[in-house]
Structure 1
Amino acid sequence: MSTQVKGQAWLLVIAAFAGVWLIRTGSEPVTPPAPPPSEAFAAGPGPYQKSPRTEGNRREPNRSSPGPQRTAPPLAPSAPVRLRVPAIGVDTPLTDLGLRADGSLEVPPASNANLAGWYREGPPPGARGTAIVAGHVDNARGPAVFYALGSLRKGHRIEVTRRDGRTAVFTVDAVEVHRNEDFPDRKVYGAAAGAELRLITCGGGYTEGTGYRGNVVAYAHLTGTR
Structure 2
Amino acid sequence: MSSRPDATTKRADGRHGGPWRAVGAVVVVLLAMLGSGLIGAALKSTDTPRPPQPVAGTVGPTANGPLAEADLDGAERTPTGLPRATPTSIVIPRIGVRASIMALGTNPDGTVQVPPLDQALLAGWYEPGPSPGEPGNAVIVGHVDSAAIGPAVFFSLGALQPGDTVTVERADGRAATFRVDSVASYPKNAFPTEQVYGPSNRPGLRVITCGGQFDEATGDYPDNVIVFASLTP
Q: TM-score, normalised by structure 1?
A: 0.80
Aligned partners of 2:144 and 2:66: how far apart in 1? Answer: 28
Decide which moves more: 142-151 or 101-110. Answer: 101-110
The answer on whether the counterparts of 2:39 and 2:209 sit within 8 Å (CA) in structure 1 is no
Assess, with a 3 A threshold, how the Cα gap between structure 1 residues 5 and 219 changes in structure 2: closer, same or farther: closer
**Aligned counterpart for 1:131 among listed residues 138, 143, 146:** 138
Q: Is it true that 1:15 corresponds to 2:37 in the alignment? A: yes
Once the two structures are superposed, what CA deviation does each residue of 1:24-60 show, in whole Å capped at 9, x if it has no partner? 24xxx752110136x8755xxxxxxx17xxxx82455
Which residue of structure 1 lines up, in the alignment, with residue 46 of structure 2? 24
The answer on whether the counterparts of 1:93 and 1:115 sit within 8 Å (CA) in structure 2 is yes
**Aligned counterpart for 2:123 among listed residues 95, 116, 128:** 116
The answer on whether the counterparts of 2:157 and 2:225 sit within 8 Å (CA) in structure 1 is yes
Q: How far 1:18 sits from its partner (Å)?
A: 7.7
Assess, with a 3 A threshold, how the Cα gap between structure 1 residues 17 and 58 changes in structure 2: closer, same or farther: closer
Q: How far 1:204 sits from its partner (Å)?
A: 2.3
The answer on whether the counterparts of 1:138 and 1:145 sit within 8 Å (CA) in structure 2 is yes
Q: How far 1:182 sits from its partner (Å)?
A: 1.2
Q: Is it true that 1:209 corresponds to 2:228 in the alignment? A: no
The answer on whether the counterparts of 2:38 and 2:209 sit within 8 Å (CA) in structure 1 is no
Matched letter for residue 118 of structure 2: S
Which residue of structure 1 lines up, in the alignment, with residue 99 of structure 2? 92
Q: Is it true that 1:199 corresponds to 2:218 in the alignment? A: no
Matched letter for residue 107 of structure 1: V
Assess, with a 3 A threshold, how the Cα gap between structure 1 residues 132 and 17 changes in structure 2: closer, same or farther: closer
Matched letter for residue 184 of structure 2: E
Pairs within 5 Å for 1:169-184:
169-184=177-192
| Counterpart secondary structure, 2:64 | coil
Structure with the higher strand share, 1 or 2? 1
Aligned partners of 2:151 and 2:196: how far apart in 1? Answer: 24
The answer on whether the counterparts of 1:70 and 1:223 sit within 8 Å (CA) in structure 2 is no
RMSD: 2.6
The answer on whether the counterparts of 1:71 and 1:221 sit within 8 Å (CA) in structure 2 is no
Q: How far 1:14 sits from its partner (Å)?
A: 2.2
Which residue of structure 2 lines up, in the alignment, with residue 220 of structure 1? 229
Aligned partners of 2:166 and 2:158: how far apart in 1? Answer: 14
Identity of aligned residues (%): 38
Matched letter for residue 150 of structure 1: G
The answer on whether the counterparts of 2:66 and 2:229 sit within 8 Å (CA) in structure 1 is no
Q: How far 1:143 sits from its partner (Å)?
A: 0.4
Pairs within 5 Å for 1:49-198:
50=61, 57-58=64-65, 71-141=78-148, 142-198=150-206
Assess, with a 3 A threshold, how the Cα gap between structure 1 residues 58 and 72 changes in structure 2: closer, same or farther: closer
Which residue of structure 2 lines up, in the alignment, with residue 34 of structure 1? 53
Structure 2, unmatched stretches of 5+, are: 1-9, 19-23, 71-75
| Counterpart secondary structure, 1:2 | coil
Which residue of structure 1 lines up, in the alignment, with residue 3 of structure 2? none
| Counterpart secondary structure, 1:207 | coil
* Stretches (4+) displaced over 6 A: none
Assess, with a 3 A threshold, how the Cα gap between structure 1 residues 16 and 59 changes in structure 2: closer, same or farther: closer
Assess, with a 3 A threshold, how the Cα gap between structure 1 residues 77 and 173 changes in structure 2: closer, same or farther: same
